[in-house]
Chain A
Amino acid sequence: MYRYDQYDQAMVDARVAEFRDQVSRRLAGRMTDDQFKPLRLKNGLYLQLHAYMLRVAIPYGTLNSRQMRKLAQIARTYDRGYGHFTTRQNIQYNWIRLEDAPDILGDLAKVEMHDIQTSGESIRNISADQFAGAAADEIMDPRPWCELIRQMTSFMPEFSYLPRKFKIAVIASKADRAALRWHDFALRIVRNDAGETGFEVFAGGGMGRTPFIAFRIREFLPTNEIFAYLQAVLRVWNRHARRDNIHKQRMKILVHELGEKEFARQVEAEHAGFLARGANFPQAEYDRIAEFFAPPPFEQGLNDDIDLADPEFAAWAERQVVAHKAPGYAIANISLKPVGGIPGDISAEQMDVVADLAERYSFDELRATHSQNLVLPHVRKADLPAIWRALRDCGLADANLDLATDLIACPGLDYCSLANARSIPVAQKIAARFADAERQARIGELKIKISGCINACGHHHAGNIGILGVDRKGIENYQLLLGGSGDAETSQARIAGPGFDEDGIVDAVEKATELYLRQREDGERFIDTYRRIGMEPFKEAIYG
């Protein structure tokens, strides 16, 4: 993985010192809240319902054991013993004191971490396939591109005061594990007929109150034109963006209002201008970064079998283990969705266990996923039983990847000042209803995503079953949406009908799954059946 050079470290250290000064001035009363708020947000420090919340960047979801242990230490020292992995592959702490924030940033900097651009009108943490560098189906590791774009865009003045936040994702496989087209700007690494590597480029996606799926703006962009192209996109957006209306500032709104064709025309014209002026691609910097992502020294000649004699282990392995590109190796998914737990939450003690496992078994690498789980990306198949035992002993061995209890849920009204309704209790009730392993297996892949407000941090627009919490005159109410997806056939979920109370929404989810089980044909997932039969039978089953 990428390691800081002296320039990276100097920039992050300078940022810590700057923020320490800003915090001290605020605490001394030399700065008002209005003056301080944009500064703290630039450092990922929000003020939520119960305390300050600090969001820490995990670039493209990759971290090592030293970093994970530091996250555990921060949870113990400055928070209340746990952290929360988010749908942007970041981690959040819910109980931070303002006066501790500079020390936390200092601690993060010691392990090459920061919270820069985890909030505000900037390019947010660039996300990637959580299996990058390990997936059997990828063309190449997409993370060097993520890192290069991160470096290019961090602190760049033109990108520091964008009209609104801007989210980028990069993947390198046909399978989409990063909800690519739900991003403002998204890249899929592809090869053309001549065997050249380039990007398939998408623009104008996003969730929130006005969801749009990104459209394909370029079928093939040579890799060495990526900076010019990204800059062209941002420049067109900057030129036209409705900075006067917060609900119309995202780039997706501009794309919608200008139209895809006109937006693309302006981007291409701007891009051509950049190329004509001799925009240079920093090949040497790319090469330097790419070296950090060279595959680890996989052992040759390993046994490719997994001993499934223990039925408990077999159940876990069959669900949580994914094919790796190196013979004898596997990708092990760690569920942060225990039934009765809080999706994405992990205790400091569990973080330490996971860090130990990464160090011992996975070439010191970990991944955070946008589905609020963790991944050990490079483990020997022979080590899987030992890994499972360690996870089981600390409560992290649930076998529910992509099943009904693997729900995504935002913090909701239990923590978030923007939320209108609680998400977590709904997630917990649904998980309890579907807890039976046999039932989950019978239902198969089912992606349930819950947001506590229209900002859609719980990705309800992309849920096979999406749930949106709303406020009905001070009473929590939940809308049911069906048919969303963040995979390669991206689709936007549609509202099924009138909303429900907390227990009613759980019943509605159950009715939808029962209809699916009655209607499905061989090999169909929930989303396949929905696409084949449409909304009406589901409405009839739920409301009829």
Chain B
Amino acid sequence: MKIITGNNLRSGAVVWWTGYDWSLHVEDSIDVGEHAEAVIQREEGAQRVNGAHAVEATRDEDGVRPAHIKDRIRALGPTVRPDLTLKPADPAVGNWVI
């Protein structure tokens, strides 16, 4: 699947396109298929997000998983600071990116 990500203009936070808005959580991503470019162009015009771009991902029973490690780290947060990730209660959360 193809999903769209970027950074929120105000906070810089990593965000993912849900089909109608942006979410902090990669599992909210939708498959934009062939429409990635159109979404990116429209959202660039709206100027809510910096650097919107499409990345490859897969979806399984555990949710959406970006194909590249860089995007998985973007989705999670720094693996060396589990307390600062989106799942701070799980000290082994960094294993998800590997």
Q: Which residues of A contact B (CB under 8 A)?
A: 26-27, 29, 32-33, 47-52, 80, 94-99, 342, 413-415, 419, 422, 424-425, 428, 474-476
Contacts and interface: CB of A to CB of B under 8 A. Distances in A.
A206 B69 CA distance: 29
A52 B12 contact: yes
Interface string B76-89: 01111100100000
B14 A424 contact: no
A422 B68 contact: no
Contacts, number: 67
Contact of B78 (A33, A47, A50): A50
A26 B48 CA distance: 10
A458 to B, nearest CB: 14
Interface string B1-44: 00000010111111000000000000000000000000000001
A98 B12 contact: yes
Given A51-B13, A476-B69, A80 B84 contact: yes
Interface in B42-79: 44, 47, 50-51, 67-70, 73-74, 77-79
Contact of B80 (A32, A47, A99, A342): A342
Contacts of B70: 49, 413, 419
Interface of B: 7, 9-14, 44, 47, 50-51, 67-70, 73-74, 77-81, 84
Contacts of A415: 78
A26 B8 CA distance: 13
Contact of A47 (B7, B47, B73, B84): B7
Contacts of A99: 10
A43 to B, nearest CB: 15
Nearest to B52: A33
A32 B73 contact: no
A27 B10 contact: yes
Nearest to B13: A51
Given A33-B51, A97-B12, A99-B10, 13 more contacts: A49-B73, A49-B74, A50-B14, A51-B7, A52-B12, A94-B78, A95-B84, A98-B9, A98-B10, A414-B73, A414-B78, A414-B80, A424-B78
A51 B12 contact: yes
Given A33-B50, A413-B69, A97 B79 contact: no
A80 B88 CA distance: 13
Nearest to A36: B50
A50 B72 CA distance: 11
Chain B facing A: main interface SS: loop
A186 to B, nearest CB: 33
Nearest to B85: A50
B10 A32 contact: no
A474 B68 contact: yes
Contacts of A414: 73, 78-81
17 contacts: A27-B10, A29-B47, A33-B47, A47-B12, A50-B12, A50-B77, A80-B84, A96-B12, A97-B11, A99-B10, A413-B69, A414-B80, A414-B81, A419-B70, A424-B78, A428-B80, A474-B68
A52 B74 CA distance: 13
B67 A47 contact: no
B19 to A, nearest CB: 23
Contacts of A476: 69
Contacts of B9: 26-27, 98
A413 B73 contact: yes
A85 to B, nearest CB: 16
Contacts of B73: 49, 413-414, 422
A501 to B, nearest CB: 10
Contacts of B11: 51, 97-98
Nearest to A80: B84
Contacts of A425: 79-80
Nearest to B67: A474
A186 B71 CA distance: 39
Contacts of B84: 80, 95
A32 B46 CA distance: 10
B14 A474 contact: no
B10 A47 contact: no
A422 B79 contact: yes
Please provide the 5 A-B residue pairs with the shortest distance between their CB atoms, ordered closest to farther. A51-B12, A52-B12, A414-B78, A29-B47, A424-B80
Nearest to A30: B47
A471 to B, nearest CB: 8
A260 B7 CA distance: 44
Contact of B10 (A33, A80, A97): A97
Contact of B47 (A32, A94, A424): A32
Given A413-B73, A414-B79, A425-B80, A47 B13 contact: no
A414 B77 CA distance: 7
A52 B13 CA distance: 8
| Most chain A CB atoms below 10 A, which of B7, B9, B12, B81 | B12
Contacts of A51: 7, 11-13
Nearest to B80: A424
Nearest to A425: B80
A52 to B, nearest CB: 4
Contacts of A419: 70
A26 B73 CA distance: 27
A452 to B, nearest CB: 11
